Amino acid sequence: MLKLFDTMSKKKRVFRPLGKTVKMYNCGLTVYNFAHIGNLRAYTFADLLRRYLQYRGYRVKQVMNFTDVGHMTEDEVISSDVGEDKMEVAAKRERKTVWDIAEFYIKAFLEDSRKMNFLEPHVRPRATQHIPEMIRIIKSLVKKGYAYVTPSGVYYDVSRFKRYGRLSGNTIEKLKAGAGGRVKFNPDKKNQFDFALWIVDPNHIMKWDSPWGTGYPGWHIECSAMSMKYLGKTIDIHTGAVDNIFPHHECEIAQSEAYTGKKFVRYWMHCRHLMVDGQKMAKSSGKFYTLRDLEEKGFSPLALRFFLLSAHYRSELNFTLGALKTAEKTVKNLFDFTFRAFSLDPKGRYSREFSSFLKRARAEFVRHMDDDLDTPKALASVFDVVNETNRLIELGKLSRRNLREVFRFMVDIDRVLGLGLARVAEGIPKSVKRLVEKREKLRKSGKFDEADRIRKDLAERGYEIEDTPDGPVVKRNWLK
Protein backbone atom coordinates (compact mmCIF):
# COMPACT_ATOMS: atom_id res chain seq x y z
CA MET A 1 0.00 0.00 0.00
CA LEU A 2 1.13 3.52 -0.76
CA LYS A 3 2.04 5.42 2.41
CA LEU A 4 2.72 9.16 2.51
CA PHE A 5 4.08 11.25 5.37
CA ASP A 6 1.42 13.70 6.53
CA THR A 7 2.81 16.84 8.18
CA MET A 8 -0.41 17.32 10.15
CA SER A 9 -0.36 13.91 11.85
CA LYS A 10 3.49 13.75 11.84
CA LYS A 11 3.42 10.16 10.56
CA LYS A 12 3.16 8.03 7.44
CA ARG A 13 -0.42 7.25 6.53
CA VAL A 14 -1.91 4.85 4.01
CA PHE A 15 -3.05 6.96 1.08
CA ARG A 16 -6.77 6.78 0.47
CA PRO A 17 -8.11 9.49 -1.84
CA LEU A 18 -11.51 11.01 -1.28
CA GLY A 19 -12.84 10.17 -4.75
CA LYS A 20 -11.88 8.63 -8.08
CA THR A 21 -9.58 11.53 -8.94
CA VAL A 22 -6.77 12.65 -6.61
CA LYS A 23 -7.05 16.40 -6.06
CA MET A 24 -3.60 17.94 -5.55
CA TYR A 25 -2.62 21.58 -5.01
CA ASN A 26 1.01 22.73 -5.16
CA CYS A 27 2.09 26.12 -3.85
CA GLY A 28 3.65 27.74 -6.90
CA LEU A 29 6.20 30.44 -7.62
CA THR A 30 5.99 34.08 -6.63
CA VAL A 31 6.92 35.54 -10.00
CA TYR A 32 9.21 38.42 -9.03
CA ASN A 33 12.44 36.65 -10.00
CA PHE A 34 13.74 33.48 -11.63
CA ALA A 35 13.04 30.25 -9.75
CA HIS A 36 16.16 29.14 -7.91
CA ILE A 37 17.08 25.48 -7.68
CA GLY A 38 15.68 25.35 -4.13
CA ASN A 39 12.28 26.26 -5.62
CA LEU A 40 12.86 23.63 -8.28
CA ARG A 41 13.34 21.00 -5.59
CA ALA A 42 9.79 21.64 -4.37
CA TYR A 43 8.42 21.40 -7.92
CA THR A 44 10.48 18.30 -8.73
CA PHE A 45 8.95 16.70 -5.63
CA ALA A 46 5.45 17.71 -6.74
CA ASP A 47 6.10 16.30 -10.21
CA LEU A 48 7.47 13.05 -8.76
CA LEU A 49 4.40 12.68 -6.57
CA ARG A 50 2.02 13.20 -9.47
CA ARG A 51 3.98 10.84 -11.70
CA TYR A 52 3.99 8.11 -9.07
CA LEU A 53 0.31 8.46 -8.29
CA GLN A 54 -0.41 8.03 -11.99
CA TYR A 55 2.03 5.13 -12.19
CA ARG A 56 0.06 3.41 -9.42
CA GLY A 57 -3.13 3.86 -11.42
CA TYR A 58 -4.66 6.96 -9.83
CA ARG A 59 -6.19 9.74 -11.86
CA VAL A 60 -4.81 13.09 -10.72
CA LYS A 61 -5.94 16.68 -11.09
CA GLN A 62 -2.99 18.94 -10.33
CA VAL A 63 -3.26 22.68 -9.69
CA MET A 64 -0.15 24.82 -9.29
CA ASN A 65 -0.58 28.56 -8.88
CA PHE A 66 1.42 31.66 -9.72
CA THR A 67 1.54 34.32 -7.00
CA ASP A 68 1.67 37.67 -8.79
CA VAL A 69 0.48 40.00 -6.02
CA GLY A 70 0.43 40.25 -2.23
CA HIS A 71 3.53 38.25 -1.24
CA MET A 72 5.38 40.55 1.12
CA THR A 73 9.15 40.87 1.51
CA GLU A 74 9.00 39.85 5.17
CA ASP A 75 6.86 36.75 4.74
CA GLU A 76 8.84 34.82 7.35
CA VAL A 77 7.16 36.76 10.17
CA ILE A 78 3.76 35.81 11.53
CA SER A 79 1.89 38.51 9.62
CA SER A 80 2.10 38.53 5.85
CA ASP A 81 1.18 42.22 5.69
CA VAL A 82 4.67 43.44 6.66
CA GLY A 83 7.19 44.94 4.24
CA GLU A 84 6.75 45.62 0.53
CA ASP A 85 5.01 43.55 -2.10
CA LYS A 86 7.73 41.52 -3.84
CA MET A 87 6.19 42.32 -7.21
CA GLU A 88 6.56 46.05 -6.67
CA VAL A 89 10.13 45.65 -5.40
CA ALA A 90 11.01 43.76 -8.59
CA ALA A 91 9.32 46.40 -10.76
CA LYS A 92 11.42 49.15 -9.16
CA ARG A 93 14.57 47.06 -9.45
CA GLU A 94 14.11 46.34 -13.15
CA ARG A 95 12.30 49.56 -14.09
CA LYS A 96 9.35 47.69 -15.57
CA THR A 97 5.67 47.54 -14.76
CA VAL A 98 4.56 44.90 -12.27
CA TRP A 99 2.51 43.30 -15.04
CA ASP A 100 5.58 43.03 -17.26
CA ILE A 101 7.51 41.52 -14.35
CA ALA A 102 4.84 38.85 -13.89
CA GLU A 103 4.69 37.98 -17.58
CA PHE A 104 8.48 37.78 -17.92
CA TYR A 105 9.06 35.49 -14.93
CA ILE A 106 6.04 33.30 -15.66
CA LYS A 107 7.42 32.70 -19.15
CA ALA A 108 10.87 32.00 -17.68
CA PHE A 109 9.44 29.50 -15.19
CA LEU A 110 7.48 27.68 -17.89
CA GLU A 111 10.75 27.33 -19.84
CA ASP A 112 12.41 25.90 -16.72
CA SER A 113 9.51 23.49 -16.25
CA ARG A 114 9.85 22.15 -19.78
CA LYS A 115 13.61 21.73 -19.40
CA MET A 116 13.13 19.90 -16.09
CA ASN A 117 10.58 17.65 -17.83
CA PHE A 118 7.78 18.49 -15.39
CA LEU A 119 4.33 17.30 -16.36
CA GLU A 120 2.16 20.31 -17.07
CA PRO A 121 -0.37 20.89 -14.24
CA HIS A 122 -3.99 20.73 -15.32
CA VAL A 123 -4.53 24.30 -14.09
CA ARG A 124 -2.02 27.12 -13.51
CA PRO A 125 -4.11 29.89 -11.94
CA ARG A 126 -2.78 33.39 -11.29
CA ALA A 127 -3.73 35.22 -8.11
CA THR A 128 -4.59 38.45 -9.93
CA GLN A 129 -7.22 36.61 -11.97
CA HIS A 130 -9.12 35.44 -8.87
CA ILE A 131 -9.78 38.62 -6.89
CA PRO A 132 -13.62 38.18 -6.94
CA GLU A 133 -13.28 34.70 -5.40
CA MET A 134 -11.05 36.09 -2.64
CA ILE A 135 -13.44 38.94 -1.87
CA ARG A 136 -16.33 36.47 -1.62
CA ILE A 137 -14.44 34.36 0.95
CA ILE A 138 -13.39 37.42 2.97
CA LYS A 139 -16.97 38.69 3.05
CA SER A 140 -18.11 35.37 4.48
CA LEU A 141 -15.32 35.31 7.10
CA VAL A 142 -16.28 38.82 8.25
CA LYS A 143 -19.97 37.83 8.44
CA LYS A 144 -19.14 34.72 10.48
CA GLY A 145 -17.00 36.69 12.91
CA TYR A 146 -13.68 35.14 11.95
CA ALA A 147 -12.42 38.38 10.43
CA TYR A 148 -12.76 42.06 11.29
CA VAL A 149 -12.56 45.30 9.31
CA THR A 150 -10.19 48.16 10.16
CA PRO A 151 -9.05 51.32 8.32
CA SER A 152 -5.89 49.52 7.18
CA GLY A 153 -7.61 46.37 5.98
CA VAL A 154 -9.38 43.16 6.91
CA TYR A 155 -7.67 40.81 9.36
CA TYR A 156 -8.32 37.22 10.33
CA ASP A 157 -8.89 36.83 14.09
CA VAL A 158 -6.64 33.85 14.83
CA SER A 159 -8.03 33.51 18.35
CA ARG A 160 -11.40 32.52 16.87
CA PHE A 161 -9.99 29.40 15.20
CA LYS A 162 -9.24 26.96 18.02
CA ARG A 163 -7.29 24.52 15.84
CA TYR A 164 -4.74 27.14 14.79
CA GLY A 165 -1.22 25.78 15.21
CA ARG A 166 -1.92 22.07 14.71
CA LEU A 167 0.11 21.89 11.49
CA SER A 168 3.17 23.86 12.58
CA GLY A 169 3.10 23.63 16.36
CA ASN A 170 2.82 27.43 16.60
CA THR A 171 -0.29 27.41 18.74
CA ILE A 172 -2.03 30.58 19.88
CA GLU A 173 -0.54 30.09 23.34
CA LYS A 174 2.98 30.00 21.88
CA LEU A 175 2.27 33.01 19.68
CA LYS A 176 1.09 34.97 22.68
CA ALA A 177 4.32 34.07 24.41
CA GLY A 178 6.25 35.42 21.43
CA ALA A 179 7.45 32.05 20.07
CA GLY A 180 5.98 32.44 16.60
CA GLY A 181 8.42 34.91 15.11
CA ARG A 182 9.01 38.64 14.98
CA VAL A 183 5.88 40.81 14.79
CA LYS A 184 5.76 44.45 13.74
CA PHE A 185 3.21 46.28 15.90
CA ASN A 186 -0.03 47.20 14.13
CA PRO A 187 -2.51 49.25 16.24
CA ASP A 188 -5.44 48.09 14.06
CA LYS A 189 -5.05 44.44 15.03
CA LYS A 190 -6.83 42.73 17.89
CA ASN A 191 -3.92 40.32 18.17
CA GLN A 192 -0.55 41.11 16.68
CA PHE A 193 -0.38 37.62 15.15
CA ASP A 194 -3.65 38.09 13.22
CA PHE A 195 -3.00 38.07 9.49
CA ALA A 196 -4.22 40.25 6.63
CA LEU A 197 -6.93 39.06 4.28
CA TRP A 198 -7.23 42.40 2.48
CA ILE A 199 -4.82 45.34 2.67
CA VAL A 200 -6.29 48.79 2.03
CA ASP A 201 -3.75 50.80 0.06
CA PRO A 202 -4.93 53.16 -2.72
CA ASN A 203 -1.27 53.83 -3.60
CA HIS A 204 -0.42 50.20 -4.31
CA ILE A 205 0.24 49.72 -8.03
CA MET A 206 -1.76 46.48 -8.24
CA LYS A 207 -5.08 47.39 -6.66
CA TRP A 208 -8.76 46.52 -6.85
CA ASP A 209 -11.97 47.93 -5.42
CA SER A 210 -13.49 46.03 -2.51
CA PRO A 211 -16.22 46.59 0.11
CA TRP A 212 -13.44 47.64 2.54
CA GLY A 213 -11.54 50.04 0.30
CA THR A 214 -9.18 50.01 -2.65
CA GLY A 215 -6.27 47.68 -2.12
CA TYR A 216 -5.04 44.13 -2.68
CA PRO A 217 -5.34 40.66 -1.11
CA GLY A 218 -3.07 39.10 1.49
CA TRP A 219 -0.90 36.22 0.33
CA HIS A 220 -2.65 33.44 2.27
CA ILE A 221 -6.19 34.03 0.98
CA GLU A 222 -5.01 33.63 -2.59
CA CYS A 223 -4.18 29.93 -2.38
CA SER A 224 -7.41 29.11 -0.55
CA ALA A 225 -9.46 30.82 -3.25
CA MET A 226 -7.64 29.17 -6.15
CA SER A 227 -7.59 25.72 -4.55
CA MET A 228 -11.30 25.75 -3.77
CA LYS A 229 -12.28 27.08 -7.19
CA TYR A 230 -10.57 24.30 -9.11
CA LEU A 231 -10.52 21.40 -6.63
CA GLY A 232 -13.42 21.96 -4.26
CA LYS A 233 -13.74 22.51 -0.52
CA THR A 234 -11.67 19.47 0.50
CA ILE A 235 -8.61 18.29 -1.39
CA ASP A 236 -6.49 15.17 -1.06
CA ILE A 237 -2.95 16.57 -1.12
CA HIS A 238 -1.38 19.99 -0.61
CA THR A 239 2.38 20.30 -1.11
CA GLY A 240 5.04 22.92 -0.52
CA ALA A 241 8.43 23.47 1.03
CA VAL A 242 8.89 23.31 4.81
CA ASP A 243 9.05 27.10 5.03
CA ASN A 244 5.44 27.20 3.76
CA ILE A 245 4.19 25.34 6.84
CA PHE A 246 4.14 28.51 8.92
CA PRO A 247 2.60 30.94 8.50
CA HIS A 248 1.28 30.28 4.99
CA HIS A 249 -0.26 26.82 5.25
CA GLU A 250 -1.34 27.32 8.84
CA CYS A 251 -3.27 30.40 7.75
CA GLU A 252 -4.71 28.62 4.71
CA ILE A 253 -6.22 26.00 7.01
CA ALA A 254 -7.72 28.57 9.36
CA GLN A 255 -9.42 30.67 6.71
CA SER A 256 -10.52 27.75 4.50
CA GLU A 257 -12.06 25.63 7.26
CA ALA A 258 -13.73 28.65 8.86
CA TYR A 259 -15.23 29.50 5.47
CA THR A 260 -16.46 26.02 4.49
CA GLY A 261 -16.89 24.24 7.81
CA LYS A 262 -15.10 21.27 6.24
CA LYS A 263 -11.61 19.75 6.40
CA PHE A 264 -9.40 21.63 3.95
CA VAL A 265 -6.60 19.14 3.22
CA ARG A 266 -6.37 15.41 3.94
CA TYR A 267 -2.58 14.98 3.41
CA TRP A 268 -0.08 17.79 3.90
CA MET A 269 3.30 17.07 2.30
CA HIS A 270 6.43 19.20 2.54
CA CYS A 271 9.95 18.84 1.18
CA ARG A 272 13.05 19.98 3.04
CA HIS A 273 15.38 22.81 2.10
CA LEU A 274 18.09 22.61 -0.50
CA MET A 275 21.38 23.90 0.88
CA VAL A 276 24.17 25.43 -1.22
CA ASP A 277 27.65 24.57 -0.03
CA GLY A 278 26.19 24.06 3.44
CA GLN A 279 24.17 27.29 3.56
CA LYS A 280 20.42 27.82 3.13
CA MET A 281 19.50 28.99 -0.33
CA ALA A 282 17.64 32.31 -0.37
CA LYS A 283 17.10 35.06 -2.91
CA SER A 284 17.26 37.65 -0.15
CA SER A 285 20.87 36.70 0.68
CA GLY A 286 21.94 36.37 -2.95
CA LYS A 287 23.16 32.82 -2.25
CA PHE A 288 21.33 30.88 -4.92
CA TYR A 289 21.62 29.28 -8.36
CA THR A 290 19.03 29.40 -11.11
CA LEU A 291 18.68 26.78 -13.80
CA ARG A 292 20.15 29.30 -16.24
CA ASP A 293 23.24 29.64 -14.06
CA LEU A 294 23.81 25.89 -14.23
CA GLU A 295 23.21 25.74 -17.98
CA GLU A 296 25.79 28.49 -18.48
CA LYS A 297 28.24 26.26 -16.62
CA GLY A 298 27.49 23.49 -19.10
CA PHE A 299 25.12 21.35 -17.03
CA SER A 300 21.91 19.74 -18.26
CA PRO A 301 18.60 20.40 -16.47
CA LEU A 302 18.12 16.63 -16.37
CA ALA A 303 21.29 16.36 -14.28
CA LEU A 304 19.67 18.68 -11.73
CA ARG A 305 16.47 16.66 -11.86
CA PHE A 306 18.35 13.45 -11.11
CA PHE A 307 20.39 15.11 -8.36
CA LEU A 308 17.19 16.25 -6.66
CA LEU A 309 15.64 12.78 -6.98
CA SER A 310 18.72 11.11 -5.52
CA ALA A 311 17.77 12.20 -1.98
CA HIS A 312 14.52 11.61 -0.12
CA TYR A 313 12.30 14.67 -0.36
CA ARG A 314 12.10 14.95 3.44
CA SER A 315 15.87 14.94 3.90
CA GLU A 316 18.02 18.04 3.75
CA LEU A 317 20.10 18.07 0.57
CA ASN A 318 23.37 19.96 0.07
CA PHE A 319 24.04 21.17 -3.46
CA THR A 320 27.57 21.45 -4.84
CA LEU A 321 28.77 21.69 -8.42
CA GLY A 322 30.80 18.53 -7.82
CA ALA A 323 27.68 16.61 -6.81
CA LEU A 324 25.87 17.92 -9.88
CA LYS A 325 28.73 16.77 -12.11
CA THR A 326 28.44 13.28 -10.63
CA ALA A 327 24.67 13.31 -11.18
CA GLU A 328 25.13 14.32 -14.83
CA LYS A 329 27.56 11.46 -15.40
CA THR A 330 25.06 9.05 -13.86
CA VAL A 331 22.23 10.29 -16.07
CA LYS A 332 24.41 9.91 -19.17
CA ASN A 333 25.19 6.36 -18.10
CA LEU A 334 21.48 5.60 -17.69
CA PHE A 335 20.75 6.87 -21.20
CA ASP A 336 23.69 4.94 -22.66
CA PHE A 337 22.59 1.80 -20.83
CA THR A 338 19.00 2.16 -22.05
CA PHE A 339 20.22 2.71 -25.61
CA ARG A 340 22.45 -0.35 -25.32
CA ALA A 341 19.48 -2.43 -24.20
CA PHE A 342 17.46 -1.09 -27.14
CA SER A 343 20.06 -1.50 -29.86
CA LEU A 344 22.36 -4.38 -28.91
CA ASP A 345 21.78 -7.79 -30.51
CA PRO A 346 23.55 -10.37 -28.31
CA LYS A 347 23.73 -14.03 -29.30
CA GLY A 348 23.08 -15.56 -25.90
CA ARG A 349 20.10 -17.78 -25.08
CA TYR A 350 16.97 -16.38 -23.47
CA SER A 351 17.24 -16.44 -19.65
CA ARG A 352 13.98 -16.94 -17.77
CA GLU A 353 15.87 -16.50 -14.53
CA PHE A 354 16.94 -13.01 -15.60
CA SER A 355 13.38 -12.21 -16.65
CA SER A 356 12.23 -13.11 -13.13
CA PHE A 357 15.01 -10.95 -11.72
CA LEU A 358 13.60 -7.94 -13.63
CA LYS A 359 10.13 -8.57 -12.22
CA ARG A 360 11.54 -8.68 -8.69
CA ALA A 361 13.49 -5.46 -9.34
CA ARG A 362 10.34 -3.71 -10.46
CA ALA A 363 8.51 -4.95 -7.36
CA GLU A 364 11.38 -3.60 -5.23
CA PHE A 365 11.17 -0.25 -7.00
CA VAL A 366 7.44 -0.04 -6.29
CA ARG A 367 7.88 -1.18 -2.68
CA HIS A 368 10.35 1.61 -1.95
CA MET A 369 8.31 4.24 -3.75
CA ASP A 370 5.24 3.09 -1.83
CA ASP A 371 7.17 3.91 1.33
CA ASP A 372 6.70 7.69 1.16
CA LEU A 373 8.48 8.03 -2.21
CA ASP A 374 11.83 6.66 -1.04
CA THR A 375 13.72 7.51 -4.23
CA PRO A 376 17.25 6.64 -2.99
CA LYS A 377 16.26 3.02 -2.32
CA ALA A 378 14.11 2.87 -5.45
CA LEU A 379 17.06 4.05 -7.54
CA ALA A 380 19.26 1.42 -5.91
CA SER A 381 16.98 -1.27 -7.35
CA VAL A 382 17.39 0.32 -10.80
CA PHE A 383 21.18 0.28 -10.54
CA ASP A 384 21.02 -3.38 -9.51
CA VAL A 385 19.41 -4.01 -12.91
CA VAL A 386 22.05 -1.93 -14.70
CA ASN A 387 24.94 -3.78 -13.03
CA GLU A 388 23.50 -7.27 -13.45
CA THR A 389 22.56 -6.66 -17.07
CA ASN A 390 26.03 -5.39 -17.97
CA ARG A 391 27.64 -8.34 -16.16
CA LEU A 392 25.55 -10.89 -18.05
CA ILE A 393 26.07 -9.15 -21.39
CA GLU A 394 29.82 -9.45 -20.94
CA LEU A 395 29.40 -13.14 -20.14
CA GLY A 396 27.23 -13.65 -23.23
CA LYS A 397 24.34 -14.96 -21.16
CA LEU A 398 21.51 -12.68 -22.40
CA SER A 399 19.44 -12.73 -25.56
CA ARG A 400 17.92 -9.96 -27.64
CA ARG A 401 14.58 -10.75 -26.02
CA ASN A 402 16.11 -10.28 -22.56
CA LEU A 403 17.45 -6.88 -23.54
CA ARG A 404 14.08 -5.80 -24.90
CA GLU A 405 12.69 -6.64 -21.46
CA VAL A 406 15.43 -4.47 -19.91
CA PHE A 407 14.52 -1.63 -22.26
CA ARG A 408 10.84 -1.90 -21.29
CA PHE A 409 11.84 -1.98 -17.60
CA MET A 410 13.85 1.25 -17.95
CA VAL A 411 11.10 3.04 -19.88
CA ASP A 412 8.52 1.82 -17.37
CA ILE A 413 10.30 3.13 -14.26
CA ASP A 414 11.12 6.33 -16.14
CA ARG A 415 7.40 7.13 -16.09
CA VAL A 416 8.20 7.94 -12.45
CA LEU A 417 11.73 9.36 -12.77
CA GLY A 418 10.86 11.59 -15.71
CA LEU A 419 14.26 11.60 -17.41
CA GLY A 420 12.92 10.85 -20.89
CA LEU A 421 14.77 7.56 -21.41
CA ALA A 422 12.34 6.46 -24.14
CA ARG A 423 14.05 8.96 -26.47
CA VAL A 424 16.82 6.45 -27.09
CA ALA A 425 14.43 4.58 -29.41
CA GLU A 426 14.13 7.55 -31.75
CA GLY A 427 17.35 6.71 -33.58
CA ILE A 428 19.43 9.14 -35.64
CA PRO A 429 17.29 11.49 -37.81
CA LYS A 430 17.78 11.33 -41.58
CA SER A 431 18.70 15.02 -41.62
CA VAL A 432 21.61 14.31 -39.26
CA LYS A 433 22.74 11.31 -41.32
CA ARG A 434 22.77 13.47 -44.47
CA LEU A 435 24.95 16.07 -42.75
CA VAL A 436 27.35 13.35 -41.61
CA GLU A 437 27.61 12.08 -45.18
CA LYS A 438 28.15 15.62 -46.46
CA ARG A 439 30.88 16.18 -43.87
CA GLU A 440 32.62 12.97 -44.89
CA LYS A 441 32.68 14.08 -48.54
CA LEU A 442 34.10 17.47 -47.53
CA ARG A 443 36.84 15.78 -45.50
CA LYS A 444 37.80 13.56 -48.41
CA SER A 445 37.92 16.65 -50.63
CA GLY A 446 40.24 18.40 -48.16
CA LYS A 447 37.65 21.02 -47.19
CA PHE A 448 38.31 20.63 -43.48
CA ASP A 449 37.02 24.05 -42.36
CA GLU A 450 33.58 23.36 -43.83
CA ALA A 451 33.63 19.84 -42.36
CA ASP A 452 34.47 21.25 -38.92
CA ARG A 453 31.55 23.67 -39.12
CA ILE A 454 29.18 20.73 -39.67
CA ARG A 455 30.75 18.88 -36.74
CA LYS A 456 30.24 21.92 -34.46
CA ASP A 457 26.67 22.40 -35.67
CA LEU A 458 25.84 18.75 -34.94
CA ALA A 459 27.56 18.96 -31.54
CA GLU A 460 25.31 21.89 -30.58
CA ARG A 461 22.32 19.76 -31.55
CA GLY A 462 23.56 16.90 -29.37
CA TYR A 463 25.27 14.64 -31.92
CA GLU A 464 28.93 13.72 -31.63
CA ILE A 465 30.93 12.27 -34.52
CA GLU A 466 33.70 9.77 -33.93
CA ASP A 467 35.95 9.19 -36.93
CA THR A 468 37.02 5.52 -37.19
CA PRO A 469 38.92 3.51 -39.85
CA ASP A 470 35.53 2.13 -40.94
CA GLY A 471 34.01 5.61 -41.31
CA PRO A 472 32.24 8.12 -39.07
CA VAL A 473 30.16 6.89 -36.13
CA VAL A 474 27.41 9.17 -34.81
CA LYS A 475 26.74 9.21 -31.06
CA ARG A 476 23.85 10.99 -29.45
CA ASN A 477 24.43 13.25 -26.44
CA TRP A 478 21.12 12.50 -24.73
CA LEU A 479 21.37 15.48 -22.39
CA LYS A 480 21.39 18.10 -25.14
pLDDT greater than 60 at residue 181:
no
pLDDT greater than 60 at residue 93:
yes
pLDDT at 477: 84
| Average pLDDT estimate for 416-439 | 91
- Say which CATH superfamily domain 292-426 falls into: Isoleucyl-tRNA Synthetase; Domain 1 (1.10.730.10)
Per-residue pLDDT tens over the stretch 346-356: 889 999 999 99
Domain boundary assignment for the chain? 3-271, 292-426, 430-476
pLDDT at 75: 52
| Average pLDDT estimate for 218-222 | 94
pLDDT greater than 50 at residue 180:
no
pLDDT greater than 60 at residue 476:
yes
| Average pLDDT estimate for 318-342 | 95
pLDDT at 438: 93
Query: b/e per residue, 429-453, with b = 16+ CB within 10 A?
Result: eeebeebbeebbebbeeeeeeebee
Going by pLDDT thresholds of 50, 70 and 90, the confidence category of residue 226 is very high
pLDDT at 16: 98
Going by pLDDT thresholds of 50, 70 and 90, the confidence category of residue 182 is low
Per-residue pLDDT tens over the stretch 5-23: 999 999 999 999 999 999 9
- Residue with the bigger pLDDT between 183 and 479: it is 479
Q: What is the residue-averaged pLDDT of the chain? A: 93
Going by pLDDT thresholds of 50, 70 and 90, the confidence category of residue 283 is low
| Average pLDDT estimate for 403-408 | 97
To the question of domain 3-271 being in CATH 3.40.50.620, the answer is yes
Per-residue pLDDT tens over the stretch 20-69: 999 999 999 999 999 999 999 999 999 999 999 999 999 999 999 999 99
pLDDT at 460: 85
Going by pLDDT thresholds of 50, 70 and 90, the confidence category of residue 465 is confident
pLDDT at 430: 87
Per-residue pLDDT tens over the stretch 100-148: 999 999 999 999 999 999 999 999 999 999 999 999 999 999 999 999 9
pLDDT greater than 80 at residue 179:
no
Q: Which of 24-33, 280-289, 387-396 shows the lowest per-residue confidence on average (mean pLDDT)?
A: 280-289
pLDDT greater than 70 at residue 280:
yes
| Average pLDDT estimate for 192-198 | 92
Contact 4, 12 (CB under 8 A): yes
